[in-house]
Amino acid sequence: MAMKYKILIADDDPGIRDIFKIVLTKAGYDIEVKEEASEIFENKFSIPDLFLVDKLLSGIDGLEICHYLKTNEQTSHIPVIMVSASPDIGIAATKAGANDFVEKPFELSFLLKVIERNIEQAKNERLLKTERSEENY
């Protein structure tokens, strides 16, 4: 059986969280949901394979969360996808270090493709690093 990948969803909108949880669980992912930015800043989560972060999370700019995750040694290698209705999310997400972004409204099939692509890329990068470190012995 294929390994189940874990996605951490950081969103304070209960309706959006529920949709993400239902769709992503149905797609075969393990899901952890956080509605408070403080839980991420305090590292109160188990390390996922991907972060899905809303631009606005309980009054905190999701870009700050993204920047924190990308500058934290434990999570810097994990893909972060920003989600926002903001039209400039692409530029802002890139500046914050996000691997990708999804602009609301979006098709769920599009979101799944973005998630799949980023998990696959991260997996390939890890394999490449492992191969390189083995070559150095």
pTM exceeds 0.85, yes or no: yes
Residue showing tokens 């602009």: 103
pLDDT of residue 48: 97
pLDDT of residue 131: 79
CA distance 31 to 21: 7
- For the stretch 61-87, pLDDT in tens is 999 999 999 999 999 999 999 999 988
Per the model's pLDDT, the better-predicted residue between 43 and 133 turns out to be 43
Cross-strand bridge partners of residue 51:
8, 80
Nearest Cα residue to 31 out of 55, 3, 53, 9: 9
pLDDT class of 137 with cuts at 50, 70, 90: low
Residue showing tokens 């500046």: 95
Q: Is residue 22's pLDDT more than 70?
A: yes
Q: Is residue 33's pLDDT more than 60?
A: yes
pLDDT class of 99 with cuts at 50, 70, 90: very high
pLDDT class of 35 with cuts at 50, 70, 90: very high
Q: Is residue 130's pLDDT more than 90?
A: no
What are the chain's domains?
A: 6-135 (3.40.50.2300)
Determine whether 123 is exposed, middle or buried from the number of CB atoms within 10 Å of its CB (0-12, 13-18, 19+): middle
Q: What six digits make up the tokens of 109?
A: 């099939």
CA distance 37 to 67: 13
98 touches 80 (CB < 8 A): yes
Q: Is residue 114's pLDDT more than 70?
A: yes
Least confident residue range of 40-44, 56-60, 96-100, 131-135: 131-135
Q: How many residues does the chain have?
A: 137
CA distance 2 to 4: 6
